[in-house]
Amino acid sequence: MGNGGDTRGKEKELEPVLSDLKRLEELSPFEFKELLIKLARRKSERMMLNAGRGNPNFLALVPRYAYLQLGKFALSEAERHFGYMGDLIGGHSDREGIEARFEIFVRNHWNEKGTAFLNSAVSYVKDYLGFSAGEFLHEMVQGYLGCDYPSPPRMLPLSERIVARYLMKEMGAGYDLGYSLVDETQLFAVEGGTAAMAYLFESLKANRILNEGDKVALAVPIFSPYLEIPKLDTYRLEIIDVRADEELGYQIPDEELEKLRDKEIKALFLVNPGNPTSVKLEDGVLEKLKEIVEGDRQDLIIITDDVYATFADEFKSVYTVLPHNTILVYSFSKYFGATGWRLGVVALHKNNVVDRLIRELPEEIQEELERRYAPITPNVRELKFIDRLVADSRNVALRHTAGLSTPQQVQMVLFALYALMDEQERYKKSVKHVLRRRYRALYRGLGIEPQEDPNYVYYYTLLDTEILAERLYGKEFADWFVKTLPPEEFVVRLAVEAGVVLLPGRGFEVFHPSARVSLANLKEIDYIKIGKTIRKLLDEYYHEFLKSRRGD
């Protein structure tokens, strides 16, 4: 902390902020981040390093170029109509002859970026997936033009099959299982993973599967909205923690999973790989979960949010292990650098536990639900949960205009095809390489060796400041560090004194003093700077610790 005058000056600067920490403890970590950003910006001449939010600064180029070329072709299709109106009005695409017109377009635009991939994608859809090239082109062109309502509202037909195939590949279903799951998996295209969460909570409540006072289990630490939504007055659910163990590399021990044998627990929510831990669940955890569900809890609903799956090595989703009990949430935002596109899906097996639980509801509730969904079908009792989910996303009455916009679905399909066709995984390997380099750069700045694990995903890293303190200066200092400082002081101080923004682990239900560093959104050199800044602050605390021992 330098000399005494510097220390007193810093403490005076921090005093009003630190005095508010107790009052701010209930803030979401993302709202807390906004406060840290304001603090970090107070010194305008200083560059702020915001590693608080996981918005990637990388993105997939090829499927975006293909989207542009598809747009040109789609507009050429629209221009075929209303020619007597000049260039004022276009029309819808014609299915008849579209393949031949596309071949002409490809020849005329072959040297432009995106054309070769778009041409290969059409060939892949026809020759490998076995779909009609004409039907695919027509769905993509109409979708790009955005000239029809999404139909079906849940997802465009070929788009659903292509994205389902991509999902099963990335979720680790394996060749044989993957193909069977593709045919048995239903998708609802939604506005990113956040919309998926909101819709699921609302529809599970509307269909009386989750009711006020019900118990739900959360695999903690976890993405903070999963902690916050159940507490809202709308739901008032009782939360049971199923806690991962830091000493086990943030795997969930058997004794925690055993809590799920409690039949009062209606659902388990988990993020895999984790946020903020960025660790995937091991096969042993999945097998234990399978044993519990198949043995005692065939009525358990599992909601797994697998947005970071594509960054993991040899990933296996809970959905592939327990497909009948699991609702899968996936977003294209992180892997393809598409947070602004808002692209996500909810995946549900055709034979799923939610449909069964709805069928088993008491007669008076069945009648209540019949009244709710009567405007959209005369056979409410046959209405599947995924279709109720679509209706509930638009308050039932507007179900006919539900669904993700068709241009968004088109970009989603091109992303999926890009990953499916990249058998050498060149994009995936490149993205993983970038994240791993940033992780090591952070630790170079800290001046210590990074810990690596095959289960790490490296999209985030959760810095246990107690462990860092012990590795640098020993256990006695680490004990002093934990006992002396308010939990959020470290991240506040980084923001105020150095312009570095990290998220406090406490907001994700992390017990120990910690900070989440996003490895996705800054340059490699910035992570070296962040590491050096953290090291400098720990050094200052260590000098304060030495002074306290001397009685200065």
Give the CATH number for residue 47: 3.90.1150.10
Q: Is residue 167 part of a domain?
A: no
Give start and end residues of each alpha helix (H) in 305-378: 318-321, 353-359, 363-373
Contact (CB, 8 A) for 361 and 355: no
**In terms of domains, do 35 and 90 share one?**
no
Q: Which two tokens stand for residue 119?
A: 């041409």
- The reported pLDDT for the residue numbered 26 is 60
CATH at 202: 3.40.640.10
Residues 6 or more apart whose CB falls under 8 angstroms from that of 374 comprise 380
Q: What is the pLDDT of residues 100-148, one digit of tens each?
A: 999 999 999 999 999 999 999 999 999 999 999 999 999 999 999 999 9
**In terms of domains, do 393 and 441 share one?**
no
What is the extent of the structural domain holding 144? 62-148
Q: What is the CA radius of gyration of the chain?
A: 26
Lowest model confidence (mean pLDDT) among 115-124, 177-186, 215-224, 442-451: 177-186
* Boundary-marking domain end, from 404, 437, 453: 404
Of 432, 201, 457, 428, residue with least CA distance to 327: 201
Contact (CB, 8 A) for 380 and 373: yes
**In terms of domains, do 444 and 396 share one?**
no
Give the Å distances, CA to CA, from 459 to 232, 362, 465. Answer: 29, 45, 19
Cα three-residue angle 336-203-267, rounded to 5 degrees: 80
Q: Is residue 158 part of a domain?
A: no
pLDDT mean over 9-29: 59
- The reported pLDDT for the residue numbered 4 is 40
- The reported pLDDT for the residue numbered 15 is 59
**In terms of domains, do 380 and 481 share one?**
no
pLDDT score of 176 more than 70: no
Q: Is residue 161 part of a domain?
A: no
CB atoms within 10 A of CB 465: 23
Of 328, 330, 268, residue with least CA distance to 293: 268
269/237 Cα distance (integer angstroms)? 13
pLDDT score of 19 more than 70: no
- The reported pLDDT for the residue numbered 291 is 98
**In terms of domains, do 460 and 334 share one?**
no
**In terms of domains, do 515 and 462 share one?**
yes
What SS3 class is residue 245? strand
pLDDT mean over 178-202: 93
Percent of the chain with pLDDT over 90: 82
pLDDT score of 504 more than 60: yes
Q: Is residue 524 part of a domain?
A: yes
Contact (CB, 8 A) for 290 and 318: no
Q: What is the pLDDT of residues 307-329, one digit of tens each?
A: 999 999 999 999 999 999 999 99
pLDDT mean over 187-201: 96
- The reported pLDDT for the residue numbered 195 is 96
Of 468, 456, 437, 453, residue with least CA distance to 533: 468
- The reported pLDDT for the residue numbered 17 is 59
Give start and end residues of each alpha helix (H) in 361-514: 363-373, 385-392, 406-421, 426-446, 465-473, 475-484, 489-498
pLDDT mean over 383-394: 97
Cα three-residue angle 475-477-481, rounded to 5 degrees: 115
- The reported pLDDT for the residue numbered 38 is 73
Confidence band of 23 (pLDDT split at 50, 70, 90): low
**In terms of domains, do 176 and 288 share one?**
yes
**In terms of domains, do 304 and 440 share one?**
no
Mean pLDDT score of the chain, rounded to an integer? 92
What is the reported pTM? 0.92
Give the Å distances, CA to CA, from 481 to 17, 299, 487, 508, 529. Answer: 19, 46, 10, 21, 23
Give the Å distances, CA to CA, from 393 to 43, 351, 397. Answer: 44, 22, 10
pLDDT mean over 480-492: 88
Q: What is the pLDDT of residues 78-105, one digit of tens each?
A: 999 887 777 889 999 999 999 999 999 9
**In terms of domains, do 247 and 105 share one?**
no
pLDDT score of 74 more than 60: yes
Q: Is residue 73 part of a domain?
A: yes
pLDDT score of 262 more than 50: yes
pLDDT mean over 223-252: 96
Lowest model confidence (mean pLDDT) among 9-23, 212-226, 254-268, 508-522: 9-23
- The reported pLDDT for the residue numbered 178 is 63
CB atoms within 10 A of CB 255: 10
pLDDT mean over 222-240: 95
8 vs 544, residue with greater confidence: 544
Confidence band of 8 (pLDDT split at 50, 70, 90): very low
Q: Is residue 459 part of a domain?
A: yes
Give, as one character, the DSSP assignment of residue 114. T
Confidence band of 496 (pLDDT split at 50, 70, 90): confident
Q: Is residue 500 part of a domain?
A: yes
**In terms of domains, do 264 and 372 share one?**
yes
pLDDT score of 7 more than 50: no
Q: Is the peptide bond before 29 cis (omega within 30 degrees of 0)?
A: no
**In terms of domains, do 115 and 214 share one?**
no
Q: Is residue 159 part of a domain?
A: no
- The reported pLDDT for the residue numbered 3 is 41
- The reported pLDDT for the residue numbered 1 is 37
Q: What torsion do the CA atoms of 398, 404, 410, 412 make, to the nearest 10 degrees?
A: -160
- The reported pLDDT for the residue numbered 252 is 98
CATH at 90: 1.10.20.110
Q: How many domains does the chain have?
A: 3
* Boundary-marking domain end, from 148, 183, 216: 148
- The reported pLDDT for the residue numbered 487 is 76
Maximum CA extent, the chain: 91
* Boundary-marking domain end, from 96, 113, 148: 148
**In terms of domains, do 458 and 394 share one?**
no
pLDDT score of 435 more than 90: yes
